[in-house]
Structure 1
Amino acid sequence: MKLLVFLSLFAVCVFARKTFHGDQVLRLHPITEGQLNTLQNLEKQYELDFWTPVRGIGIPVDIRVPSGRLASFKAYLSTTGIHYAVFIDDVQNYINAERTEHPTPKALADFNYHVYHHFDEIQQWISDMAAAHPKLLTNSTVGTSYEGLKFSALTVTTKKGNPQFVINCGIHAREWISPATCMFSVKQLVTEYGTDPTITGLLDKVDFVFIPSSNPDGYQYTWSDDRMWRKTRTPSSARCTGVDPNRNWDANFGGPGASDMPCSDTYYGPYAFSEPCTLAQKKFVEGLPNPKMYIDVHSYSQLWMFPYGYKLDRPSNFDTLDKIANDSVAAIKVTHGKTYQSGQISTTIYVASGSTADYFYDNVTPCSFAAELRDEGQYGFLLPESEIQPTAEESLAAFQVMAQAIIDHKCDSY
């Protein structure tokens, strides 16, 4: 009854350009099975903005609560005995502080890698980079989104015949640090090739294929309308829009960890590959001559993971993937001292069906990964621009470790 009363109050709040004045992010701490079940019911059945999933007893859960419902939600938590702390006291203040206004770059020399960029700026940067570095970079169209936006891949390559390492960024629209990390990494690889012996050695033997923004409609919408938008922008019902593009793949599609509710942030869609952006990426990666490794880059929580996500069973090459992930987080730690956790997706973060990492593992390459970049919740999805460079630098250190595993033939078989 208490749950129904709370939900009836919450249902009248329609998340309506969207501002978040007074909204708070609460970090909840479930300590009993009953509290865990309460949060799981809220997560699965109702339209709450869970910034992190319900993972288990003693593992914190971050939820954004709108200002108009804070009092009722906190009162509800008190009746359940679930302890909480205010982690972000005003979401809009964090959005305002997240980035600086900057002029649209007129030329590649004006491009600022230390700020977040609109989708059209990212696309122009891809074209400009490829034109400026024709011996190292290849610009390829991945596909066209539901709203007609073409999105591209940028391949760093030195010779024909190299295996490919695919690095996908921005599949969840609000995770801005992901595209920024992709772009910064490309710049570093191009700048350091021929100077840095490690990067030079890797690029002589492995192609790095970056997809900087693989959910263009959603990403553009986070700039124009709703900073907290996660999904695509395809109509999914009379009232709700969008599909979670990382639940839309044919990897136990519609299974645990994905929702059949069109208004849910984890809605898997009407059928596998219903989203033009997911279908385009599938065809693009499968069309590469020799893809050996794939990683889907997300935020936040500081995790470096591998399949399976849709089941608890270990992959056949668990030891290999575990070693690569462990070595990657060790490289991250050395770079700026940040601690990332490594492990299997389903046991490290949650069970999730229909993901990129699982699809490519099952169908394309024996080395597939998913990463959650900075931070651990201080800023969450609203990581300030001052964090772009260190996040990208530590990520690139991990990417180099992973590329070396390709060279060492760790990804030749399952």
Structure 2
Amino acid sequence: MKLFVIVLAAVAVVVTNSLPVEVSTRKTYKGYKIHRLSLDSQKQLDYLVNLNEFLMENDMNGEIAFLTETALLAPDFRKPVSVLVSPGQEVEFLKRTEEQAIQHVVADADVAKSLEAERYMSPETKRTVKNGGMTWDAYHRYQTIERYLQHLANTYPELVQLTTLGKSYEGRYLYLLKLGKARADGKTKPAVWMDAQIHAREWIAAATVTHMVNKMVTEYGTNSTSTRMLDQIDWYVLPVINVDGYEFTHTVDRWWRKTRRVNPFNVAIGADPNRNYDHMWMHQGATQQANTDVYAGAYPFSEIENVYLTDAVLERKAQIKTLLTFHSAAEVWLLPWGYDSSVPDDFEELRQMGLKATQALEKLYGIRYGVGSSTQLLGAAAGATDDWGKAKGMIKYAVTVELRDQGYLFNLPPEQIIPSGLETFEAINVVAEVVYKEYGATPD
């Protein structure tokens, strides 16, 4: 470790998660670049893992950010590692990566310009009344998503029910949609749970899920697939879990990942809600270093948003047969377990559903998703939603869906929202078919 003390005398750490940032100050990332590293040896991987650990252990303030944090622990090197580098650290960073013979390209030479262009695309000041102001040619603030959910419930009361789960740490409401057409015979349909935006910066997650919701509801009665999906399945949809973090990415720091809860034991803000569930909490792939992106919280369920999600799932436990939690941007269909390399006894059934779903997705635009356990594909991440859903929610098909990247990581251009929604719709259609075939409808 002495090597890193010398090497990194002027280098800082992971990301955006050091001290609280005043809401009035937008982080511009002026002069920052994104470098994409390609690894081809265990030695190179070990170097980055050790570097990441050193930075976390020394609580260094962020001018270098590993944006693909799970790739650091990946068992293979198919996915490159994207690193955000400040202008003051670029020379030293490149010198050290070249010494390790790590190949790299500049993926974004002007991060500030890219973020400003993304912000300029926002239609929030050009609001229309249609769909409550919601569109899928731009990424929207949370208040627009709220209006859209209320619009759906008001416009399609026979298909949509809207429930308030509670308030976030900063006082924003979390909403749960129930989609489906009631059966004339009164039988209970099997249900699929979908949630998104547990990580604040992964904007395509909520955009994709709301696009799929819109397609099902607005095309009911005219599109046979949408009609069948709502006739045969009930859908519980939590479009934005980490509402405070999501809003913070729009107003202050585009790459914020965690919640916005003030930690009682340190000055760092927030925890990673996808490390905060109580199944195998802190087993692997998480840390108690509060300034990092994978801080698991001081204790399981320290984050109120996680409590709302689990309470809502458990209340509907008898009906929910599949849990789909949406992230970006690894283009993989992840199955339990994420806490170690073991897999559930019914793993092959889960994998077969995943293969069918991702093959249907691929047919639309040719994007191929990997299918496998979280640990095998991306590395250990204990305390995640899908592991909790499988182990504690007793849900057979518990899946993390990492949506398209296409080289843009978390900054997927808004013109790709609709393609992402359409291809992912093909995948969840397969899920609906599998679930209905296996479970059907049951008498109340």
TM range (shorter): over 0.9
Q: Which residue does 2:325 correspond to in 1?
A: 296
Structure 2 residues not aligned, in runs of 5+ = 57-63
Structure 1 distance, partners of 2:385, 2:286, is 13
Q: How does 1:9-408 map to 2 (within 5 A)?
A: 9-11=10-12, 15=16, 17-46=26-55, 48-52=64-68, 53-54=71-72, 55-56=74-75, 58-59=77-78, 60-99=80-119, 100-102=121-123, 103-108=126-131, 110-159=133-182, 161-236=188-263, 237-288=265-316, 289-364=318-393, 365-376=395-406, 378-408=407-437
Structure 2 distance, partners of 1:358, 1:383, is 27
How far does the alpha carbon of each residue in 1:38-86 deviate from its partner, in whole angstroms, 9 at most, with x for none?
1112223425522222114544222111222111111121233322221
- The 1:183/1:13 distance shift into structure 2, 3 A limit, reads closer
What secondary structure, in the 3-state scheme, does the structure 1 residue paired with 2:275 have? coil
What secondary structure, in the 3-state scheme, does the structure 2 residue paired with 1:326 have? helix
Structure 1 residues not aligned, in runs of 5+ = none
Structure 2 distance, partners of 1:394, 1:98, is 23
How many correspondences in the alignment? 411
- The 1:411/1:79 distance shift into structure 2, 3 A limit, reads farther
How far does the alpha carbon of each residue in 1:231-278 deviate from its partner, in whole angstroms, 9 at most, with x for none?
001123543111001000112101111111001100000111100001
- The 1:123/1:6 distance shift into structure 2, 3 A limit, reads farther
Structure 2 distance, partners of 1:313, 1:117, is 39
Structure 2 distance, partners of 1:204, 1:370, is 25
- The 1:77/1:220 distance shift into structure 2, 3 A limit, reads same
Structure 2 residue identity aligned to 1:280: Y
Q: CA deviation at 1:30?
A: 2.8
Structure 1 distance, partners of 2:159, 2:305, is 26
- The 1:346/1:56 distance shift into structure 2, 3 A limit, reads closer
Structure 1 residue identity aligned to 2:139: Y
Q: Which runs of 4+ in 1 moved over 6 A?
A: none
What secondary structure, in the 3-state scheme, does the structure 2 residue paired with 1:155 have? strand
Q: CA deviation at 1:335?
A: 1.5
Structure 1 distance, partners of 2:439, 2:93, is 49
Q: CA deviation at 1:113?
A: 2.4
- The 1:410/1:306 distance shift into structure 2, 3 A limit, reads farther
Identity within the alignment, %: 31
Structure 2 distance, partners of 1:12, 1:328, is 38
Structure 1 distance, partners of 2:150, 2:54, is 43
Please report the RMSD computed on the Cα atoms of aligned residues, expressed in angstroms.
2.0
Structure 2 residue identity aligned to 1:30: L
Contact 2:389 2:398 in 1 (8 A): yes
Structure 2 distance, partners of 1:411, 1:257, is 37
Q: CA deviation at 1:142?
A: 2.4
What secondary structure, in the 3-state scheme, does the structure 2 residue paired with 1:394 have? helix
Contact 1:155 1:209 in 2 (8 A): yes
Structure 2 distance, partners of 1:205, 1:12, is 49
What secondary structure, in the 3-state scheme, does the structure 2 residue paired with 1:204 have? helix
How far does the alpha carbon of each residue in 1:140-197 deviate from its partner, in whole angstroms, 9 at most, with x for none?
1122211111110111111162221011010000000011111111110012211222
Structure 2 residue identity aligned to 1:245: P
TM normalised by structure 1 equals 0.94
Q: CA deviation at 1:105?
A: 4.1
Structure 1 distance, partners of 2:138, 2:77, is 36
Q: CA deviation at 1:98?
A: 2.7
Structure 2 residue identity aligned to 1:173: A
Structure 2 distance, partners of 1:403, 1:120, is 30
Contact 1:154 1:209 in 2 (8 A): yes
